Structure 1
Amino acid sequence: MIRTRQGRVLAVNSRRSNLTEIKVQIPGEPEQKAYNYDLLTGPVDAGDTVVLNTTAVNKKLGTGGAHFVMANVSNPKHNARQSGHIMKLRYSPCQVKVLAAEEPDSPDAEIIKNTTSLDGVPVVVGTLHSMLAPAAAGVKAATGGRARVVYVMTDGAALPLPLSNLVYELQTKGLVDATATCGHAFGGDWECINIYTALLTAKAVARADVIIVAMGPGIVGTASPLGFTGVEQGEIINAVNILGGRPVAIPRISFADARQRHRGISHHTITALGRIALTPCTVVLPELVDTGQRNLIQDQYSRAWPVDKHRLAWANGRPALEELDRRGIRVTSMGRTPADDPAFFLAAGAAGIYAAGLIHSGIEAGGQ
């Protein structure tokens, strides 16, 4: 059940498009942080009385240590966005109306309707939100910043794109040029109903040279073979092939994660690409200094699925990390930096660099 509490807004910590971070006081509790999604609940200011969803913080779940505003009692009648007929978070207390890019009232509806193929656009597919930054940096590094990168956020984890500090920084600093949110995810530059129309929107409307697809912050996982939201990687690869794109998979690789199932190539990658993906992609492995690590991931790859199922390529992901440093972007994944777990970030960077090499090539790049 949802745990709700009423609190008073003590201060506004920060504002950006559709997201306000506030400090709140709940009677009998210490001051705490909360997020207000302006698109859902309107503007909020110091002194307002708000209804808060406190469930995750009370359960000590890993959702950023913040409450979420469900309603602003002091300002219950805000001006909702008028256009659009598509509801996201449907039939929930937080359902929100959006103008979907493909619906008739959208100025982009006709071009999306008439676009049936990705025409070979490279699509980098990741499983963790933290893969986005090095992948985008890899594309930019390999093209001298000229390639246009569009990020498609799925609804596999966090649903509101404005929650992502990372996306905000990547757009501000020029590594991501535009965004689209699909399924029940919302808050992108374009709203889309599913992954297929999101990919077509990214290509035909947002004019992507490279599309990067990954969920938002907060992957859900268990120790069970299929019980994690990253299985969507395989489904997205299928969608990219259906639409005539060129899918490039980021393998989840780590030598710092203490869990054996994530050592080397994670079971997430082996499951998503081995069991869920029914169509081929290029799997890009990073060039690693440590020969033992390189040999392990090569051996894991050789046993993960039939040898002719996917294409294998190797690429140097280091220029991607250098590009992040050059732009002053600090990245972490599960609290680990590139210095702590270089293989993880090099894998994502290598995929971006490889995808950049496919731009306008007209053919599927090599591999083995």
Structure 2
Amino acid sequence: MVRIRREWPGAMELDVALAEGECRALAYPPLVGRPEPGDAVLLNTTALAMGLGTGGYAMVVAVPDRLPQDPAGPGHLVKARYTPLQATVLGADEQDSPHHEVLREADSLDGMPVVVADLHSALPAILCGLYASAAARPRVAYVMLDGGALPAWFSMSCAELRAREWLCGVVTTGQSFGGDVEAVTTHTGLLAARHVLGADVAVVTQGPGNLGTGTRWGFSGVSAGEAVNAAAVLGGRPVAALRVSEGDARDRHRGVSHHSLTAYGRVALAPARVAVPDLPGDFGDRVREQAASLGARHDLVTVPVDGLLGALEASPVRLSTMGRGLTEDLAYFLASAAAGRDAAGLLGS
């Protein structure tokens, strides 16, 4: 390892020397130990070979001469199970947890708004819309699904939003780990957000990075529909954020993405409020026309977007989706912020 580029809670970005030159690498010290300049590191370079975007790091698998501490503590949940870097964590819902008694009896979200989105990049935009529109500042928890990155540590946005107190905590569910609270399922994750973290609102997305194949069903964002079902069955009020794009070159994602149409139109069996951003011009008409197909099952709510650009420009973290920033795909971020605005309107009602 040559140098440490930067670090944030749970993660380190490094420069590592290879035979063919230097490359950028990522290490999770809780899993592999803390590498220091001069250390030999074992790397997985799959992401570099594939030219991945979000995941374009070599991953540190081990620091052979500087091993991590042996796991200690009461945790019995194993996540990233049966992989070489499986992690043992203390689940909020397991028997040794101080929250076990609360979650053993918990069965309701008490009407808590739950904003659901396809991509992790929607999270800060949703928060921008929510905080700009709420009469009083709510407590917001992020419930991370396991369709993208498994370690929550990968998200620099989460670390910064947590530090700025834009999030009261991160709950990692399923095979994902590294949050302030660990949970077994999306259901217990939502219950933990409400009853352990005391959240007024939960935002649910997969972690950074997503998997898609260009087919109707072959994408990790189908979990957005399943999250709507979980929120509804627990007595929450799901708000569906549409994935909208005016900047994506792929026709299947222009206007309302086919991901949203499948996840909410086919997978979500419970009704949700679908936040339809009131975008101007022909593009806005296209979005409204595409979203109309969801009206047979869901409550379509037209949300004005005036004032949301200023809120997005004031985001405490950089806004980026699929390599596009705020100016390259404004419609995407406005649609996400509109869902936050709609959730704000549910508070106190």
Fold equivalence (TM over 0.5): yes
C-alpha RMSD of the superposition: 1.6
Deviation at 1:236, TM superposition (A): 0.7
Deviation at 1:244, TM superposition (A): 0.6
Deviation at 1:136, TM superposition (A): 1.1
The reply on whether 1:298 has 2:260 as its aligned counterpart is no
User: How many aligned residue pairs are there?
Assistant: 349
1:102 is aligned to 93
2:332 is aligned to 344
**Following the alignment from structure 2 to structure 1, what is the Cα–Cα distance between the partners of residues 327 and 87?**
41
Deviation at 1:319, TM superposition (A): 3.7
Pick aligned residue for 2:255 from 240, 247, 264: 264
Where in structure 2 are there 5+ consecutive unaligned residues? none
1:250 is aligned to 241
**Following the alignment from structure 2 to structure 1, what is the Cα–Cα distance between the partners of residues 306 and 147?**
28
Between the aligned residues of both structures, percent identity stands at: 42
The reply on whether 1:235 has 2:226 as its aligned counterpart is yes
**Following the alignment from structure 1 to structure 2, what is the Cα–Cα distance between the partners of residues 170 and 77?**
27
Opposite residue 28 of structure 2, the aligned amino acid is Y
1:268-279 paired onto structure 2 within 5 Å: 268-279=259-270
The structure-2 alpha-carbon separation of the partners of 1:337 and 1:327, relative to structure 1 and needing over 3 Å to count, comes to closer
Deviation at 1:265, TM superposition (A): 1.0
Opposite residue 35 of structure 1, the aligned amino acid is L
Q: Which ranges of 4 or more aligned residues in structure 1 deviate by more than 6 Å?
A: none
**Following the alignment from structure 1 to structure 2, what is the Cα–Cα distance between the partners of residues 22 and 81?**
27
**Following the alignment from structure 2 to structure 1, what is the Cα–Cα distance between the partners of residues 86 and 273?**
38
1:128-207 paired onto structure 2 within 5 Å: 128-143=119-134, 146-207=137-198
The structure-2 alpha-carbon separation of the partners of 1:61 and 1:339, relative to structure 1 and needing over 3 Å to count, comes to closer
Contact 1:137 1:321 survives alignment (8 Å): no
**Following the alignment from structure 1 to structure 2, what is the Cα–Cα distance between the partners of residues 262 and 235?**
20
1:21-32 paired onto structure 2 within 5 Å: 21-26=13-18, 28-32=19-23
Deviation at 1:318, TM superposition (A): 4.6
| Partner SS for 1:176 | coil
Contact 2:145 2:206 survives alignment (8 Å): yes
1:6 is aligned to none
Deviation at 1:260, TM superposition (A): 1.4
TM-score normalised per structure 1: 0.91
**Following the alignment from structure 1 to structure 2, what is the Cα–Cα distance between the partners of residues 178 and 144?**
21
2:274 is aligned to 283
Contact 1:317 1:351 survives alignment (8 Å): no
**Following the alignment from structure 2 to structure 1, what is the Cα–Cα distance between the partners of residues 136 and 163?**
14
TM-score normalised per structure 2: 0.96
1:20 is aligned to 12
